[in-house]
Amino acid sequence: MKLNPTNVRLLVINGVLLVAVLAITFWPTTATGQPGPGRIRGEYTMVSSKTIMGNADAIYVLDSANRELVAMRWDQGRRSLVGIGYRNLDADTVIAPAR
């Protein structure tokens, strides 16, 4: 079977794409866009609750791998989640309790 130039080009392009997909797949999983050391992939838990601010419901998202907690509520006007608060749990455990 003789390969024509078009088929050879397609085989080369597919080979390059396969190498690119494999490189992306096995690339390290730390996020480098964050300040400081890279972040590891998160492990998330979400809990819903009522807030003391009117009739608003909230969700709390805990990233146990990076030890961060984010509280959000649904804004019907914007039709999106709005952040209520953020806590770095590692920083909170370092602070001595005040009396």
Assess whether pLDDT exceeds 90 at residue 60: yes
pTM above 0.95, yes or no: no
Residue spans of the domains in the chain: they are 5-29+42-94
* Mean pLDDT to the nearest integer, 48-55: 80
**Percent of residues, the chain, with pLDDT higher than 90:** 39
C-alpha to C-alpha distance for 69 and 55, rounded to whole angstroms = 22
Query: 63: buried, middle or exposed (CB in 10 Å: 19+, 13-18, 0-12)?
Result: middle
Q: Say what the pLDDT of residue 33 is.
A: 58
